[in-house]
Structure 1
């Protein structure tokens, strides 16, 4: 139902002007979904950033997903929320955001993957595929073999994240990922548009 193929996760360290440029270019390059991440707890800044990029995404028909914060998603009428394991329970979040919104959950091990199958979710974020400097608290890396097993097991679409770049993205797709979530490979590229186009070509699909 949703196109998770090239799933951009924003860099919360970039200021709002740079964020807007990255999003504008990434849209032109073909990203299919965008998750706005803001880990510093400043809810006003989070809402401001969401409101800055939402019109661009809306015009392009690309869903805006809010990381962690159901209240922010409701405040800006985002297209969905992505939860972590320590965030609001998925069933509660679903009740608040309604059936028409996208709800994702990060799973970091096999037990969480199994438990998530019975939750009211649209997709799972499989974290981390490879160790990555943007996520310093990773305790487990799935690797390609773990991803392939998870893909065979899961009834929900899997979006792979963590240490994915041009050199390994095709292998991740071939291991069964329905989507690829990227931060640095797009946000830190000289041309986010060119990077997005190249990554989408490597991912393949419709």
Structure 2
């Protein structure tokens, strides 16, 4: 499956409007790939949210991956799961066995070595972060930069640059070999998620 180059990462706490409305606007702007984080939600509420986001994405042929919850991904028939950096190779393989060959299995990597391990375990894509300084996730250590992004691409796993991505540096990430960029604050906190999505895509395609 060819992955869209723009991955929307949800954060209802940082969004300027209700999350469903933000995602609907982003999809109207061309977004087709959404990672549902918001892990602090009650299970039933998160299940309902996942189903609503799938319904928003489906008419546009979009994909939803659920952060860290294989059972929820299976129950809601999401397109896949995005596993946290604490997951290991066995977790990636177990997610594949549970969700099937067609599912998207993503992984949050914070080093080139973790990208290599995810590729070997059969992940479909990974995020690599933080590429640039970011206010959304300040506790993830020093930035990796574009050199790490270039190094990660040798492992033939689609890598999405995450952390401090904005309209000014998104193209540089693609030029460094990234399959795309993953954006949370730059879309969730903006007043115009539709325009933001369209702007990112114009720089990425």
TM over 0.5: yes
What's the TM-score once normalised by structure 2's chain length? 0.92
Range 41-50 or range 74-83, more displaced: 41-50
Number of aligned positions between the proteins: 202
Q: What's the offset of the Cα at 1:14?
A: 5.9
Partner residue, 1:50:
50
Tell me the secondary structure at the aligned position of residue 85 of structure 2.
coil
Q: Which runs of 4+ in 1 moved over 6 A?
A: none
Q: Which runs of 5+ in 1 are unaligned?
A: none
Report matched runs for 1:5-154 at 5 Å. 5-13=5-13, 18-40=18-40, 42-87=42-87, 89-151=91-153, 153-154=154-155
Tell me the secondary structure at the aligned position of residue 128 of structure 2.
strand
What's the TM-score once normalised by structure 1's chain length? 0.92
2: CA distance, partners of 1:191 / 1:118 = 39
Tell me the secondary structure at the aligned position of residue 138 of structure 1.
coil
Partner residue, 1:172:
173
2: CA distance, partners of 1:78 / 1:97 = 10
Q: What's the offset of the Cα at 1:111?
A: 2.2
Q: What's the offset of the Cα at 1:41?
A: 5.2
Please say if residues 32 and 60 of structure 2, whose CA atoms lie closer than 8 Å, have aligned partners that are also in contact: no
